[in-house]
Chain A
Amino acid sequence: MENLNQSKSLNSTTHPLGMQLCMIVQADVLALFFRLLSQGFAVTVQPGCSIRDLLCLQLGIREEYLDERIQTIFLNGNAVDDVDSTIVENDAILALSGAMPGLAGATLRKGGILATMRNSISHKNDMASTPHTGKTVIIKFFNLVTKDLGPSFIQQGVWLRAKQLHDFVASNLEILERGCKSAKLDGQDIKVNQILGIDFGDNLVNLKLKTESKS
């Protein structure tokens, strides 16, 4: 995938955050899973780095991709203008989007000439940082970013909240039963509907997809 540096490992699948669910799905249902990426997935990071370092050094996204395609960024709901000086703390929520249409879209864009129009929700570096209670950052992918980066991330595995996974499976059960060829939970075969019966507690679940074209 040309938007990622292939040498970077996106997530360690041996991470002790929780169980691993591997699914082989038909290519035509892959896009359904992108909804999970816009709700947010967890990544483990070194605390206190810049957005650029987090995305490019730690997650392997190419710098040109960040500079050219990721045009709208929110850190904890605040629009970001400078990816080099903005520091991402543990437990932060970082949302990534392409350029957006309309006056609102132009206003929210990073470093845009209309940035002043949303001063009240701009990220400021003196903002109180989130307490260091965890070792993860939640990343959200929207629109073109999902389309560009989603397939690679989800094929390498993303950490999801158990409830998020459960709700997703419950509301899309019919499509998943049709589109999922096989699934394994920590190496054991499992049927899609059985996922609903598993108590993952408060843990995260690592979801990894492989696609298979329709036969």
Chain B
Amino acid sequence: MDKILRINMGADGGPEAKVDSLGDYAGFGGRGLTSAIVAKEVPPTCHPLSEDNKLVIAPGLLSGSTAAMSGRISVGCKSPLTGGIKEANAGGQPSQMLGRLGYAAIVLEGKPKENNLYKVFINKDGVDIKEDNNLCMLGNYDLVDKMKAEYGEKIACISIGQAGEMKLAGASIAFTDMELRPTRHAGRGGVGAVMGSKGVKVIVVDDAGMKARSPADPDKFREANKEFVAGLKKHPVSGEGLPTYGTNVLTNVINEAGAYPTKNFQLGQFDGCEKISGETQAETENTRGGEGSATHGCHRGCIIRCSGTFYDKDGNYVTKQVEYETVWAHGGNCGIDDLDAIAQIDRLDDDYGLDTIEMGATIAVAMEAGLAEFGDAQAAINMVKEVGKGSHLGRILGSGAAVTGKVLGVARVPVVKGQAMPAYDPRGIQGIGVTYATSTMGADHTAGYAVSSNIMGVGGKTDPLSPEGQVELSRNLQIATAAVDATGMCLFIAFPLLDQPETFQALIDLINAFSGANLTADDVTELGKSILKKEREFNLQAGLTAQHDRLPDYFQKEQLPPHNITFKVTNEELDQVHNF
């Protein structure tokens, strides 16, 4: 994996592909690589949909190898939603395939001179780029079916639906899963709109004839992988909780904590939560049965398998097992307690290519504006369909919660840097509020994840009970997360790393045995710091300053029932996060 595929979509005479060596980017992968390229090559003040922006798609450092959990993929660009740097990541098969083909990244550059749509085919023999305007305004599902008919069943696809073609700021990029369905999305920040602006509808990847990447030290690699897998399997979260219930296991717990944003962040608990909880979802899926119903991986090589497949009551495939954030966004946040309706909306989001968190938050804002009643599932489905149709209302909704709030005159809009907050009310879990406010990505729950700060050697030196302690924790978590994102590992490895030092060591051994490097925990921390610094610097130059590291002020003023609390971390404290 030592080359970068650059496709200049604006070249004279049509799109032009060239293969570069990694050069200065050697040693980077995943978010480390996307952010390095964007920070170095994209002018921070450019318009995100202009020819100057670049879309970078990068497998993780270990993708394409047989290392467990290594198949996540990062997408980076300047975000049309936040105006800052963006990394959104996804599961699915393309990461492993691109890794095996030797690509550390695909970079889409420039912009087509005419308003044409292209498909890109990549295999061991090279790259083929074809104009194909027949793909215009196809949903991701129909599009993938067409690609299967054309290129066979052994491919993987990276694609956009209608939302990306319309360049809406809520548009995602779809990655096909093991069943060749477009269910895994780099959702956040409008990355799909940037792919749309490049005129690329789909990238088809075929790794036939390629072998798994071989490690520098195969024996040590095998040993470390074995230890790493054993660590994941023995931990109750990764070995039992996630495979049994999926990420939606959080619904009951966050609701009990009074931190479950309900009806556009008006309440901290949802009456209908039990009907849409992970426990109910798993039981429903198990009862309905079907291939991969309650426990399934989003890519080959996933040991945890937090995903699944959602079938309707008659056994027809609807969508993948809907994740916690989506169940919340389209469920409790809109007052909807019907799992089947939520699954239908998830399917529509995946088909049109929309970020489920952004869309759920947007519909809730629209409900608050009076476009529909909270709890009206059919109205929510209709709103998403408007986006697919590209009606005026649909284009507004597809542009996200901030735009919709402005157009509809709603003051309670839960966004930071223009991006909608995920499924945890920052008044209930204030440390998450610090991360929402100060993340380089806009409000993002994965920006400061649960990798142990003490294990990673960046532990809090201040009293953890003080406000400064919260700030320091959030900072350390953001650093650790950036480092894990660079490996291409799924963030759900975090818990075993947190609790089991030997599993964390196995991960470092795995990276070293693969690459021949001699990384220590401190080096991993430095990697995380350097990624965050680059991202922060890009944002500053793009005009996002400390004044943008704030939650909307109603979080400081409106008390959240049932605990009746407000967000208490001061602006001065928030400003300390990036002091490192």
Contact = CB atoms under 8 A, between A and B. Distances in A.
B241 A120 contact: no
Contacts of A104: 250, 254, 259, 424, 429, 432, 445
A38 B277 contact: yes
A48 interface: no
B563 A105 contact: no
B279 A99 contact: no
Nearest to A146: B279
B280 A35 contact: yes
Nearest to B250: A100
Contact of A144 (B244, B283, B287): B244
B256 A77 contact: yes
Query: Interface extent on B, as a size class?
Result: 35 or more
Given A100-B237, A103-B448, A121-B563, A116 B464 contact: yes
A76 B525 CA distance: 38
Contacts of A103: 431-432, 435, 445-446, 448-450, 477
B206 to A, nearest CB: 34
A147 B279 CA distance: 10
A143 B236 CA distance: 11
Nearest to B566: A120
B450 A144 contact: no
Interface residues of A, number: 42
Contacts of B452: 113
B280 A101 contact: no
Nearest to A36: B274
Nearest to A115: B464
A105 B499 CA distance: 13
Contacts of A140: 252, 256
Interface string A108-150: 1000011111111100000000000000000010111011000
A38 B274 contact: yes
Greatest chain B CB density within 10 A among A78, A103, A116, A143 is at A103
B258 interface: yes
Contacts of B256: 74, 77, 95, 97, 140, 142
Interface of B is mostly: helix
A116 B470 contact: yes
B21 interface: no
Interface in B334-388: none
Given A97-B253, A102-B450, A113-B452, A120 B428 contact: yes
Interface string A80-112: 000000000000000101111111111110000
B453 interface: yes
Nearest to A100: B253
A77 B562 contact: yes
Contacts of A97: 252-253, 256
Nearest to B448: A103
B283 A116 contact: no
* Most A-side CB within 10 Å, residue of B492, B498, B565: B498
A101 B240 contact: no
Contact of B257 (A39, A74, A119, A146): A74
A78 to B, nearest CB: 8
Given A69-B236, A107-B429, A116-B469, A99 B450 contact: no
14 contacts: A35-B279, A69-B236, A77-B269, A97-B256, A101-B495, A103-B445, A113-B453, A113-B464, A116-B465, A117-B430, A119-B465, A121-B258, A142-B252, A147-B244
Interface of A: 28, 31-32, 34-35, 38-39, 69, 71-72, 74, 77-79, 95, 97-108, 113-121, 140, 142-144, 146-147
